[in-house]
Structure 1
Amino acid sequence: MAQSKPELLVIEDDKGLQKQLKWSLDEYHVVLAEGKDSALAELRRFQPKVVTLDLGLPPDPANASAGLELLSEILNLSPSSKVIVVTGNDEREVAMKAIELGAYDYYHKPILPDELKLIINRAFELANLEEESRIYRRNENMRFHGIVATSPKMLAACQKIEKVAPTDLNVMLEGDSGTGKEVLGRAVHSLSKRSEGSFVYLNCAAIPENLLETELFGYEASGFSEEGASSKGKIEEANDGTLYLDEVEMMTMSLQTKLMRALNDGRVERVGSREALPINLRLICSANGDLEQYVSEGKFREDLFYKLNEINIQIPPLAERDGDVVLIARTMLSKFNKQFGRNIRSFTKDAVQAMEAYSWPGNVRELENKIKSAVVMSEGTQITAEDLQLEEAQLREMPLNLRQVREAAETRAIQRAIVLADGNISQAAKLLGLTRPTLYSLMDKYSIHS
């Protein structure tokens, strides 16, 4: 399949020049416009990176007022477009005025196609470099220490982490299994003053109850066992760093009491020892269940709950992260292509629709498993809905209030368009049938980030 030519919008009312330019600039898809209305229509339609604009347009070709006015409108609609103004030999002041208004460059008539082509080529090179820079910055913003996100709810959680990380407050991460709590816990550590220290992870549900105490507090061989060496616990290992306790609700009441005392005293005793060692660490915790409910049922100490829950951060399930599913899936596709030596280019339209419609009860972990399996098993160059092996899509319940329905639908449509356009706002506006200014206005209204 031949690669499409980049669009070049040529605004020129002289039929002879139109024909000459279209013939001499055949490496571009030359889009012709004769006046203001047709120029703006083609600008909205193609969002060209480069525009040539003859300033001597009717109805006032003598002083270029119509051309300068059109230049301003073009730059308002498409600020990233590089506009090359074409003027008469005696119109240097007009050319300078165009540059002041934001034109990329100017060219004096008579037109020599090869000379003009050099300016056009440079304009495209600059436009492409700027686009690559925007994509890089956008991708950096979407990737927060291992978390790929563009949805307002997830970005709000990331922003909260950025604020709390430099403090030394203990953090409670609440969210369903598979939402990325450990990844965010590591982000808290890496952004903190303790980043040079250890990040120690312990899943309280993965250790048998009778061994969890020694895993957490360590043990002294002389008092605990006649054979073997003493061992540090996770608390000691995390000294001057961060200790992450996952599924903290699985700790027994006696172990909770011992942990609370260690945190209050700033000292820890190994099992089988009477010597208390000083500790200085930060705690990050998460629970699969409602920890407040455990407290109300007497299964979790209230004082320990408040000690661990100094800052609470809610992690939304994947189904509530509008626009993130396809974004994360693309990141995972690239990752697993490299891991398994595959070269799958993208997802088919039906695969994208299936991923957006599915409820993802297993959250990001389930999505990762589906993408990994599809990359390994797919026989084509694109992943299809069938490759993903998703169960029948589960539709989300929509609100009955018409205003809420409209706002929710507009938000999802905008976020989806931005993802499908790979962050190109001009392309997203085209997909939505909107002008760039209208799309930017809606993005501001719904607090949507590109």
Structure 2
Amino acid sequence: MPFLRRAATATAATALLGGVSWVARAAWGLPVALGASRRRLRPTVTGSRQFSDGKFHNNLPTPAIGPANARDGLLRQWHEDRHKGLPGGPIPLVTPELPDQAGELAVTWFGHSSALLEVDGHRVLVDPVWGERVSPSPLVGPARLHEPPVPVASLPPVDAVLISHDHYDHLDLPTVRALVREQSAPFVVPLGIGAHLRGWGVPDDRIVELDWDGAATVGGLTLTCTEARHFSGRFLSRDTTLWSSWVVTGPRHRVFFGGDTGYTPAFAGIGARLGPFDLTLQPIGAYNDAWHAIHMDPEEAVRAHGDLGGRVLVPIHWATFNLAFHRWAEPVQRLLTAADARGVTVVVPQPGERVDVLSPPPLRDWWTAVGSADDGESGPEAGLAAAAAARARRTGPLRRLSPRR
């Protein structure tokens, strides 16, 4: 009996230590990943017209979570629908074919909101996220549904890195650190994000912070910080840094990058002042009635494209992370229906695919074969298996980007 008691005690201790170890690993690096404190942010943000009462504000009333009836359904959705956003099978990737010299007008989509723009012979990297999870923790939070199509180290030299806001699926600590090592371009960001970057080792001379309607010239391009309808925050404090969309203007071509936003009439004003645009990158995923004010749905993305005077629309903010309760393929399906009704030209690249916007390719359906986890009889297990297989294929690039050093 004493032996059995000792064995039971040892087993319990092992389990306890294992749990403590898991918690320690899950929390490793959190203070750094969370970013700058409110105290460090304050000196760079208080002069903004958008900043009052200790935080930034949208020009329209914008609740992060909608009315009570929408909030009441969230718990049910989490219980019943949380697997819907998983793909039904592996997401096909393309190894990017990037020319030595940047083209006149092209875009390479890496997944979610990460893309490489080529505008009039210059390159701009937007919202680069190469990390495994969009979370401050290495073990907790939404994981990638497909691996990055190319390592950060294989990207060509870029002229600028644009960031739309500080949420984890748009501002990624391990990717920032990799870009500091591999690139020399400045980070052009909305107000306040510079404090995050300085804390992560980005030199002051590589940080340009702008308010809405502010602009910076980088190489031969003008980068204008424009209004978006969203919010910010990497922990409990909300709206301590600014969020934005971006306009990239070259001598011959113009691109609008939506980042992450709800629909706003401000798009029409941006189009009138800075458009029309040869290309718009519009967020189409992670929508829900409960947070309709801060995330456009696909139909609103088409409407915004029209307000901006866009010619070609490339959808972003979908396919790579499970952040809502709609089916994985639903955003692009709804987008194409809405675009067809309005006669809008849409190109839907595979992750890693480069598109020449001046000669856009015919629309090619690659997402139907992937499907959504709840489309077939296998249910969510198919999507979970596909995501697990993608994680199992991870090699050096992601491990080298670990933020918890």
> TM-score, length-normalised on structure 2?
0.24
Structure with higher Rg: it is 1
More helix by share: 1
> TM-score, length-normalised on structure 1?
0.22
